[in-house]
Amino acid sequence: MKKLMLAVLASSALFGSVAVQAADIELKLAHTWPKGFPLFGTSVDEYAELVKELSDGRIEVKVDSRNKHKSAFGIFDFVKSGQYDIGQSASYYYGGKDPDTLFFTTMPFGMTSAEQTAWFYEGGGLDLANEVYGKHGIEVMPAGNTGMQMGGWFRKEINSVDDLKGLKMRIPGFGGKVMAGVGAIPTNIPAGELFQALERGTIDALEWVGPSLDLRMGFHKVAPFYYSGWHEPSTELMYFFNQEKMQSLPEWAQSILRNAAKLTAHNMTTETFHASAENWSQISQQFPDVQIKQFPASVIAALRESNEKLITAESERSEIAARIVASQKAYLEKARAWTVIGDKLYLDSVSE
């Protein structure tokens, strides 16, 4: 009987109960955003809450925003080194650590949110991501999608490729390189200075996210042309897990951490879709002068050509880069054919 009781005590200590006050497993998480940042940051707080609930309090995730850890783009190193057990950020911020991380956020003229989600989970995308991150002792999972990012706020209309030549635009990353390829001058400016830069004409245009996060920035008050998207058609954030730490946990805990991440990602995607719908409704009603614009076909063609050159160069960089580019291209082709005969033809048929 004593032996049994000890076994019960041991298993109770290991697996917890309402009677146990402290969590059995405590994990530290660092994310890129300011504390309480809408959608990107708040979804991480929801993740910690969900993990706690699903585990009946046995797993506690302590969330540090960049206000605490002071290093917005240090997430990759934090998790690689084990300083933090979990991270949440965007993969394409870490091209300096490993250029193959570039492919796992979104690509210009790439997949939509539904298409890319299917590529990650059903088309081999997540396996490729984990092949890249595994070299650094990190396991990754999608963390939520902004949906289509808009092409940006422009002070003047763009009627030809010539109108892009010399255009000063805040557009960082790969999209900026594509823009540079057609003669624009991509710049990066801290978020807090963007509104003034656009208002004063220091820059001619900028892209931020989409209605979900653009509304609070106020760009619609100083640049009336809102262009449809091309450079980030489905920006996916990423959870990072320290592999060694993850694998040291019992299976039920691993399952909760991964499945809660997967669900939180879907929740953020839905919440962001909703915020975009609500915020675009506000902008379009309160600022009727704002005009939705599409780049002319000649501009799209020039941007696609510039993009193709860059992607080809990327795919020649390494064996794995070539495989990732080929996988994305093949999946996009199949998935897009379905998107077109499914959602697109429906939307065409009901649009006036």
What part of residues 130-149 is at the interface with its own copies (CB under 8 A)? 147-148
Query: Is there binding between residue 17 and its own copies (CB under 8 A)?
Result: yes
Query: Is there binding between residue 305 and its own copies (CB under 8 A)?
Result: no
- Candidate residues 37, 54, 182, 318; the one interacting with its own copies per rule CB under 8 A: 54
Radius of gyration of the chain (CA): 22
Q: Shortest distance, CB of residue 90 to its own copies, whole angstroms?
A: 19
Residue closer to its own copies, measured from CB, 196 or 298: 298
Query: In this structure, what is the dihedral angle of CA atoms 338, 339, 345, 346, given to the nearest 10 degrees?
Result: 110
Query: Is there binding between residue 348 and its own copies (CB under 8 A)?
Result: yes
Instruction: Look up residue 63 and give its DSSP letter.
Output: E
Q: What is the DSSP secondary-structure string of 38-60?
A: TTTTHHHHHHHHHHHHHTTTSEE
Task: Please tell me the chain's helix, strand, coil percentages from 3-state DSSP, rounded to the nearest 5.
Answer: 55, 15, 30
Q: Shortest distance, CB of residue 201 to its own copies, whole angstroms?
A: 25
- Whether 92 and 104 have beta carbons less than 8 Å apart is answered as yes
Segment contacting its own copies by CB under 8 A, of 15-23, 62-70, 169-177, 240-248: 15-23
Instruction: Look up residue 211 and give its DSSP letter.
Output: H
- Residue count at the site for its own copies (CB under 8 A)? 83
Query: Is there binding between residue 351 and its own copies (CB under 8 A)?
Result: yes
Q: Shortest distance, CB of residue 139 to its own copies, whole angstroms?
A: 17
Instruction: Look up residue 253 and give its DSSP letter.
Output: H
Sheet of 138-145, strand order: 59-64, 25-31, 86-89, 236-242, 138-145
Q: Shortest distance, CB of residue 161 to its own copies, whole angstroms?
A: 15
CA-wise closest residue to 94 among 119, 129, 48: 129
Residue closer to its own copies, measured from CB, 60 or 271: 271
Which residues between 199 and 218 bind its own copies (CB under 8 A)?
Answer: 210-211
- Candidate residues 67, 247, 248, 270; the one interacting with its own copies per rule CB under 8 A: 270
Q: Shortest distance, CB of residue 251 to its own copies, whole angstroms?
A: 8
Which residues, 6+ apart, have CB-to-CB distance to 149 below 8 Å?
A: 106, 207, 209, 210, 229, 231, 232, 233, 235
- The CB density around residue 228, as the number of other CB atoms within 10 Å, is 13
Residue closer to its own copies, measured from CB, 45 or 271: 271
Query: Is there binding between residue 159 and its own copies (CB under 8 A)?
Result: no
Query: Is there binding between residue 157 and its own copies (CB under 8 A)?
Result: no
Residue closer to its own copies, measured from CB, 38 or 137: 38
Query: Is there binding between residue 287 and its own copies (CB under 8 A)?
Result: no
- Whether 69 and 33 have beta carbons less than 8 Å apart is answered as no
- The CB density around residue 83, as the number of other CB atoms within 10 Å, is 14
Segment contacting its own copies by CB under 8 A, of 14-22, 34-42, 172-180, 195-203: 14-22
Query: Is there binding between residue 123 and its own copies (CB under 8 A)?
Result: yes
Residue closer to its own copies, measured from CB, 100 or 139: 139
Query: In this structure, what is the dihedral angle of CA atoms 160, 163, 168, 171, given to the nearest 10 degrees?
Result: 0
Residue 75 φ/ψ, nearest 5 degrees: -60, -45
Residue closer to its own copies, measured from CB, 189 or 300: 300
Residue 169 pairs in a beta bridge with 186, 205
Distance (Å, rounded) from C-alpha 15 to C-alpha 197? 55
Query: Is there binding between residue 310 and its own copies (CB under 8 A)?
Result: no
Residue closer to its own copies, measured from CB, 73 or 273: 273
Query: Is there binding between residue 267 and its own copies (CB under 8 A)?
Result: yes
Which residues between 59 and 118 bind its own copies (CB under 8 A)?
Answer: 109, 112-115, 117-118
